[in-house]
């Protein structure tokens, strides 16, 4: 299965980011905490250069906490603050706002000159599709200022949003890049929901996911599905057993492997398979 998704609006978004970057004091780059490297767009990273950034690992409630802590430390540098948050938690977004205020180049510039500035800090919010940009913006704005949805491609154009935090947020559409050099990156983006399900093979995706979980998080699988992995030959047999145990059948009475695959992927995305991070800092270099 070849994973790729780069619709026309993403080309326009890339140009939009270039055009508006100079208007912003700091960038908030949202990454999926389960796939910190695969959800980091290399094209956008090149455009940002040495711009002040706050990297936010979202969906930390779904990720492996030990690995998340390691990734946060790894992603920090002289121009970058890093933080992991759960956007579903009441006030964790405030930690990001504090980091933004500390990182703002505007604040730093005028602080050196000993000048107080009342103008708001302008922040560009970036990330791949379905990483939580609109949810984050709505939390900071304390209202539904940006459309949200548990699917990629909800935001289609930029918008500036004022907040009570003396911050103006620029919401941008989620953007991927034209070609994934490594199809494992495409798989990770797809299985976490950054690529439309309609254009991928759900059975292949579930197969890859189960294969990874058998190797890295076997206890999570056994706990959720009550299947003895010692008796399982591989991911195909595991999915078949899930279908059999849950009586997921086609109209003719045969096992519905596609439906079982959908269920496994959906339960992974909801965190029902436990806290899982698909990228290990010791095995992946940036």
Q: CA-based angle 217:223:228, to the nearest 5?
A: 85
Q: What is the pLDDT of residue 50?
A: 87
Domain boundaries, the chain: 8-171, 201-269
Distance CA 191, CA 188 (A): 5
Across residues 228-253, what is the average pLDDT?
94
Distance CA 243, CA 53 (A): 45
Q: Is 149 annotated as a binding residue?
A: no
Q: What is the pLDDT of residue 42?
A: 92
- Topology of domain 8-171, per CATH? Rossmann fold (3.40.50)
Across residues 104-125, what is the average pLDDT?
68
Look at residue 110 and tell me whether its pLDDT is greater than 60: no
Look at residue 117 and tell me whether its pLDDT is greater than 70: no
pLDDT digits (tens, 9 = 90+) for 190-240: 999 999 999 999 999 999 999 999 999 999 999 999 999 998 889 999 999
Confidence of residue 95 (pLDDT cuts 50, 70, 90): very high
Look at residue 116 and tell me whether its pLDDT is greater than 60: no
Q: What is the pLDDT of residue 229?
A: 93
Select the more confidently predicted residue: 123 or 164. 123
Q: Is 186 annotated as a binding residue?
A: no
Select the more confidently predicted residue: 257 or 147. 257
Q: What is the pTM of this model?
A: 0.88
With beta carbons less than 8 A apart as the criterion, state whether 271 and 263 touch.
no
pLDDT digits (tens, 9 = 90+) for 257-277: 999 999 999 999 999 999 999
Confidence of residue 179 (pLDDT cuts 50, 70, 90): confident
Q: What is the pLDDT of residue 286?
A: 44
pLDDT digits (tens, 9 = 90+) for 10-63: 888 889 999 999 989 999 999 999 999 999 999 998 899 889 999 999 999 999
Look at residue 152 and tell me whether its pLDDT is greater than 60: no
Percent of the chain with pLDDT over 70: 88
Confidence of residue 8 (pLDDT cuts 50, 70, 90): confident
Q: Is 286 annotated as a binding residue?
A: no
Q: Is 58 annotated as a binding residue?
A: no
Closest CA to 136 of 75, 191, 73, 85: 85
Which of the following CATH numbers is that of domain 201-269: 3.40.50.170, 3.60.9.10, 3.40.50.11780, 1.10.1580.10? 1.10.1580.10
How confident is the prediction for the chain on average, in pLDDT?
88
Do the domains 8-171 and 201-269 sit in the same CATH topology, yes or no?
no
Q: Is 133 annotated as a binding residue?
A: yes
With beta carbons less than 8 A apart as the criterion, state whether 53 and 81 touch.
yes
């Amino acid at each position: 299965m070849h994973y790729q998704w780069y619709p026309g609006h993403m080309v326009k978004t890339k140009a939009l980011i270039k055009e508006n970057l100079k208007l912003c004091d700091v960038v908030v780059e949202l990454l999926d905490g389960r796939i910190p490297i695969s959800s980091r767009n290399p094209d956008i990273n090149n455009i940002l250069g040495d711009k002040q950034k706050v990297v936010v690992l979202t969906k930390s409630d779904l990720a492996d906490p030990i690995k998340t802590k390691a990734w946060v430390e790894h992603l920090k540098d002289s121009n970058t603050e890093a933080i992991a948050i759960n956007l579903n938690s009441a006030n964790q977004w405030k930690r990001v706002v504090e980091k933004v205020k500390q990182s703002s180049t505007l604040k730093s510039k005028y602080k050196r000159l000993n000048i107080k500035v009342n103008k708001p800090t302008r922040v560009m919010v970036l990330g791949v599709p379905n990483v939580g940009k609109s949810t984050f913006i709505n939390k900071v704005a304390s209202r539904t200022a940006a459309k949200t949805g548990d699917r990629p491609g909800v935001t289609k154009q930029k918008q500036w949003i004022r907040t009570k935090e003396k911050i103006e947020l620029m919401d941008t559409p989620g953007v991927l890049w034209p070609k994934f050099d490594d199809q494992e990156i495409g798989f990770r983006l797809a299985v976490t929901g950054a690529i439309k399900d309609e254009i991928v093979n759900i059975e292949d995706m579930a197969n890859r996911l189960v294969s990874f979980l058998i190797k890295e998080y076997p206890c999570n699988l056994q706990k959720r599905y009550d299947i003895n992995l010692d008796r399982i030959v591989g991911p195909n047999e595991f999915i078949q057993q899930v279908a059999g145990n849950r009586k997921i059948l086609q109209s003719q009475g045969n096992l519905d492997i596609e439906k079982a695959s959908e269920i496994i992927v959906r339960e992974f995305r909801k965190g029902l398979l436990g806290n899982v991070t698909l990228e290990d800092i010791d095995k992946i270099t940036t």
